[in-house]
Structure 1
Amino acid sequence: MPEIDATGLFCPEPVFRTKIEMERMQVGDVLTIKADDPAAEEDISRWATRNGHDLVEVKKDGQVISITIKKVR
């Protein structure tokens, strides 16, 4: 399963990296993004929903947020 480590990066970089990786993936593939920017959870979740992908899971481990998205289209 592909994973992006966007820790240490700030908006909008985690969203840009998510978009680029999702474009490379096939429908049905799952991507996990790890970030520590407080805005990343809302920004990536909103981007996924707006682009028709499924938000599978959001987990927090201290400062690090892990967001899992399934490519739908």
Structure 2
Amino acid sequence: MPEKHQSIEIYDLKGLNCPLPVLKTRRKLQDVPPGSCLWVETSDPLAGIDIPHFCTENGHSLIEIVTVENGHRFLIRKT
């Protein structure tokens, strides 16, 4: 879990449909150093399946999934 005082970027992908949330998350994670965390916000219902699968397939840690109004938030740690 990231330290509480650590600022974690929120990547807003609300309004985008499959496969764009996964594709944009992959690209964004390429630009951050290993060990960095990123909140990804989506409104696509399929992201609840796609983002965890993406993390598993690519070795990233899915630390937390939060269901929010009209979507999900995913806390991902890049490996």
Pair in the same fold by TM > 0.5: yes
TM bin, normalised by shorter chain, reads: over 0.9
In the alignment, is the contact (CA less than 8 A) between 1:4 and 1:17 conserved in 2?
A: no
Note the residue ranges of structure 2 that are not aligned, 5 or more in a row.
Answer: 1-7
Q: Higher Cα Rg: structure 1 or 2?
A: 2
Q: Partner residue of 1:20?
A: 27
* Unpaired segments ≥5 residues, structure 1: none
- What's the RMSD between the two structures over aligned residues? 0.8
1:48 to 55, 62, 65: 55
Runs of 4+ off more than 2 Å: none
Percent identity of equivalent pairs = 32
Q: Structure 2 CA distance, aligned partners of 1:2 and 1:16?
A: 18
Aligned residues, how many?
A: 72
Q: Could you tell me how far apart the structure 2 residues matched to 1:46 and 1:10 are?
A: 16
Query: 2: CA distance between counterparts of 1:41 and 1:18?
Result: 13
Residue 68 (structure 1) aligned with residue 46 (structure 2): no
SS of the residue corresponding to residue 22 of structure 1 reads helix
Q: Distance in 1 between matches of 2:68 and 2:10?
A: 16
TM-score normalized by structure 1? 0.93
Match of 2:15 among 4, 8, 12: 8
TM-score (norm 2): 0.86
CA distance in 2 between counterparts of 1:34 and 1:44 reads: 11
Q: Of the candidates 33, 42, 49, which is equivalent to residue 35 of structure 1?
A: 42
